[in-house]
Chain A
Amino acid sequence: MSSPCRASLALAAVALLGGCDREERDSRGQPVTETVPAGATADTIYPGGPSGSTVTLSPKAAAYENNAYHIAQGQQLYGQMNCVGCHAHGGGGMGPALIDDEWRYGGRIEQIATTIVEGRPNGMPSFRGKLTDTQIWELAAYVRAMSGQVRKDAVGARTDEPSNTPPLTQTRREPIVPGEDATP
């Protein structure tokens, strides 16, 4: 267990009941994964694929997805890499909204990671070579957090920006695939 986790346990054990692994962070040893899926299928745009939600989350992706540290890192990168300039705080602008219930290229973490690495034809730049794979996973985890896809105890209660966007803890979960149950 990492030291920030132990410290917070001491301070607020109640709040952390069952939430300890959300702070897990591999500061030593192997990073969670060094490979970003090169072409996670965007299951919402190609007809003729397998029916139903067949995409299963790899354990490695899951490690990023509900991890407070990685999500917080992703949030910082989201500002530093100028995602915020095109997508605002999820509402969109030059790029589409990321907090709504519509995903052009899929809203699962692998699919989002693919979007970030590869870029997308209508103006989403490719960040290949500009970010490490870890950073891409972190960004993807944060993008998921914006539409309420991750565990509430893994997201920060306040944003780093001076603006008054609502905290992620209050974000309603939006369905990933149309018709899918939106409750987590």
Chain B
Amino acid sequence: MAGAVRWRLAALFICTLLATPAFAQTGAVTARSVAQADNGNWEMPGKNVAATRFSAMREITPANVRNLRVAFTASTGINRGHEAPPLVIGGTMYLVTPFPNKLIALDLTKPGAPTKWVFNPKPPTAAQGVACCDVVNRGAVYANGRLFFNTLDGRTVAVDARSGKLAWQTKLGDIQRGETMTMAPTVANGKVIVGNSGGEMGVRGWIAALDTGSGRVVWKAFNTGPDKDVLIGPRFRPFYAMDRGKDLGVKTWPPGAWKIGGGSVWGWVSYDPQLRLIYYGTGNPGPWNPEQRPGDNKWTTGVFARDVDTGQAVWFYQSTPHDLYDHDDINEIILVDMPVAKRMRPVLLRPARNGFFYVHDRRTGQLLSAKPYSYMNVAKGIDPHTGRLIPVPEKEPKVGRVVRNICPAAPGAKDWNPAAFSPITGVVYIPHINLCMDMGALEANYIAGTPYVGADVKMYAGPGGNRGVFTAWDPVHARKVWEFKEDLPLWSPALATAGGLVFYGTMDGWFKAIDQRNGKLVWQFKTGSGIIGQPISYRGPDGHQYVAVMSGVGGWAGAIVAGKLDPRDGTAALGFVNAMKDLPARTDAGGMLYVFTLPR
């Protein structure tokens, strides 16, 4: 059995932490060219710059996971959505909270992991009003003795990991114009890569690289506007004709609309150190009402590859030209090496918001495959020659009429919460959602610092009645390996381990472990609040494997609880409340860290 062979070889690879060139010839999928060997830490949300969310630790397995129990817990004292992962560096764990974005250091070497220090960046309270979908933060990143993270009011801060003292801070976003920062930075080649949020507030999206030492802006690229602002120059070679042309960031918009056109960067940035390219997706165009922005609305809802040192664009692929449904393209980008037509190729994998699982050659942007991994009725497919999404015309929202049964809904087939990839199985584990919506378009007015949306939305469960889905996807053959339903939308990312498990959480507070082979539930624990946080695994100071996750419901899906919204109005939280009316009866707010290990 090829699978068994692959398993064994890969296990060998993990044990020895070697990168023997011969391994590639087995045909297994690896992230070897990008991911570092596992040192037992968890230093960035995606685990590595390839964003695999894979831990090489194997102590906890399907056979013994039923003994898993709580090692310690810690409260953050905050009642908003906790989307960030704990980070572990040596004997210290770091938590970054939702607004007010405290950074908490816990001493793992002492019983009960007491607090070492708390860093409070004190963002102004007004910032809360312009955070579109709860006041979340998606995490910090560690490099060279410092932690880097963003604050809701638009600062990137660097904090000394030992002392908890501010090393530098750089103000980048302006809440007066609706700009916040919620994404987790990526550190690549001595630079902290960050971007803005605010696609619902008429911001102009950008990504910037700051020097890790000083916080100085090395480069900044906008995702709309003239080529010189977008850092499009001689190196730019998009694979498809639809993405070629001069100043498309201006010409694919009505006059001036690009200045408030969105394309924010609130998701994930991956990095290939060999190609020296960063990869990230851009957010939705604004306003949601598509009639106000005829054209392809470049460079929104697509993927950029940029040179890490200069920011110069190398390629771009627009997943959703002229987005109709808020299908941001900001989801995680997993970098792996995988056989395509019997030849190993450096690819990137994208379980995208619009419901397609994309595989691109990461050197050129060429589309190698794009298959739906979730239910959809708004797109017929992707033209293999032009690379262009083929929309279903009847589903186009128009002013003055409500279009019903749009699937997937605004949060897409999957929102921000990343999938995990195991190089042992070669499978991508995707926690995602099954929601449809009714949408009516309205004329939106731009008023700085207020929403620029122009849509009335109501969401509800898609076919089958389940709001969540967990899908294991084989990227080589572009097909499902297994899948199961979850009642509530899955808003928590996945963690895959070499022990053969996948961990994820549900919005009513269950933290679950499933068997990678078949998706069977093998362990679960009920935490105090709904889980939308990123699970991680690390080696503790005692040499043993731990699994950790933040509990604390919120985010867009959980805004009904975190923001105490009124379920009688289904359009609340941009229409998400309609699909979540039962949530307040099933969980309540409250940020709490849970750490698990096997009994000894």
Q: Does B517 contact A (CB under 8 A)?
A: no
Cβ–Cβ contact B564 & A85, under 8 A: no
Inter-chain contact A102/B564, CB cutoff 8 Å: yes
A95 within 8 A of B: yes
**Interface positions of B from 104 to 151, Cβ below 8 Å from A:** 125-132
- The answer to whether the Cβ of B442 comes within 8 Å of any Cβ in the partner chain is yes
A99-131 interface code vs B (CB 8 A; 1 in, 0 out): 110100000000000000000011111000010
Do A93 and B450 have beta carbons less than 8 Å apart? no
The answer to whether B342 has its CB under 8 Å from any CB of chain A is: no
A89 CB within 8 Å of chain B = yes
**Residues of chain B contacted by A123 (CB below 8 angstroms):** 125-131
- Taking the closest CB of chain B, its distance from the CB of A22, in whole angstroms, is 25
Q: How far is the CA of A145 from the CA of B565 in the complex (A)?
A: 18
* A81 to B, closest residue via Cβ: B447
Alpha-carbon distance A10/B453, docked complex (angstroms) = 41
Flag whether B243 is at the interface (Cβ < 8 A): no
- Cβ of A49 < 8 Å from any Cβ of B? no
Within A66-101, the residues touching B (CB, 8 Å) are 79-82, 84-86, 88-97, 99-100
Q: Report yes or no: B440 in contact with A94, Cβ–Cβ below 8 A.
A: no
Q: Count chain B residues whose beta carbon lies closer than 8 angstroms to a beta carbon of A.
A: 40
Contact A91 B129 (CB under 8 A): no
Bound CA–CA A164/B402 (angstroms): 9
Q: Tell me the residues in window 160-184 of chain A with beta carbons closer than 8 Å to chain B beta carbons.
A: 161-166
- A166 to B444 Cα, complex, angstroms: 22
Residues of A with C-beta under 8 A to B226: none
**Bound-complex Cα distance A94 to B401 (A):** 25
Contact B442 A93 (CB under 8 A): no
What's the tally of chain A residues with a CB closer than 8 Å to chain B? Answer: 32
Q: Does A97 lie within 8 Å of B401, measured CB to CB?
A: no
Given A79-B442, A102-B564, A165-B571: A85 and B452 within 8 A (CB)?
yes
Instruction: Give Cα distance in the complex from A10 to B127, angstroms.
Output: 52
> Does B456 lie at the interface of the complex (its beta carbon under 8 Å from any beta carbon of A)?
yes
B566 adjacent to A97 (CB under 8 Å): yes
Q: Is B381 an interface residue (CB 8 A)?
A: no
Chain A residues closer than 8 Å to B131, beta-carbon distance: 94, 123
Jot down 8 A-B pairs with beta carbons below 8 A, ordered by A.
Answer: A80-B445, A86-B129, A86-B450, A88-B577, A92-B565, A95-B129, A162-B400, A162-B442
In the complex, given contacts A88-B573, A94-B451, A162-B456, what are 20 additional A-B residue pairs having Cβ atoms less than 8 angstroms apart? A82-B450, A82-B452, A85-B451, A88-B565, A88-B571, A89-B456, A89-B572, A90-B566, A91-B565, A91-B569, A91-B570, A93-B563, A94-B132, A95-B129, A99-B569, A121-B125, A123-B127, A130-B447, A162-B442, A165-B571
Residue of A nearest to B447 (CB): A82
Q: Tell me if B519 is interfacial: C-beta within 8 Å of chain A.
A: no
Nearest A-chain residue to B559, judged by Cβ: A93
A99 touches B456 (CB 8 A): no
Q: Which 4 A-B pairs have the closest CB atoms?
A: A123-B129, A85-B451, A91-B569, A91-B572
Q: Mark B12-40, 1 if CB is under 8 A from A, else 0.
A: 00000000000000000000000000000
**Which residue, of B126, B130, B131, B445, has the highest number of chain A Cβ atoms within 10 A?**
B126
* CB-CB under 8 A for A89 and B128, given A82-B452, A162-B442: no
A121 CA to B128 CA in the complex, in Å? 9
Task: Judge whether B449 is part of the interface by a CB distance below 8 angstroms.
Answer: yes
Partner of A163, one of B129, B444, B458, B563: B458
B550-571 contacts to A (CB < 8 Å): 559, 563-571
Do A85 and B572 contact each other (CB < 8 Å), given the known contacts A91-B567, A95-B129, A162-B456?
no
| B565–A85 CB distance below 8 A | no
Contacting residues of chain B (517-566) with chain A, CB-CB under 8 angstroms: 559, 563-566
In the complex, what residues of A have CB within 8 A of residue B449's CB? 125
Chain B residues within 8 Å of A99, by CB: 566, 568-569
Q: How far is the CA of A88 from the CA of B445 in the complex (A)?
A: 15
> Is the C-beta of B379 less than 8 angstroms from some C-beta in chain A?
no
Contact of A91 among B402, B445, B447, B571 (CB under 8 A): B571
Smallest CB separation, A159 vs chain B (Å)? 10
Complex Cα gap A149–B401 (Å): 30
- The distance from the CB of A158 to the nearest CB of chain B, in whole angstroms, is 14
Residues of A within 8 A of B68 (CB): none
Are B129 and A94 within 8 A (Cβ)?
Answer: yes
| A130 contacts across to B, CB distance below 8 A | 447
- State how many angstroms separate the Cβ of B544 from the closest Cβ of chain A: 43
Q: Which residue of B lies closest to A163 (CB)?
A: B456
B573 to chain A: which residues have CB within 8 Å?
88, 91-93
Q: Please state if A91 and B125 are interface contacts (CB–CB under 8 Å).
A: no
Kindly list chain A residues whose C-beta atoms are within 8 Å of the C-beta of B515.
none
CB distance from A175 to the nearest CB of B (A): 14
- Known A81-B447, A91-B572, A121-B126; judge A161-B442 contact (CB<8 A): yes
> Are A85 and B200 closer than 8 Å at their CB atoms?
yes
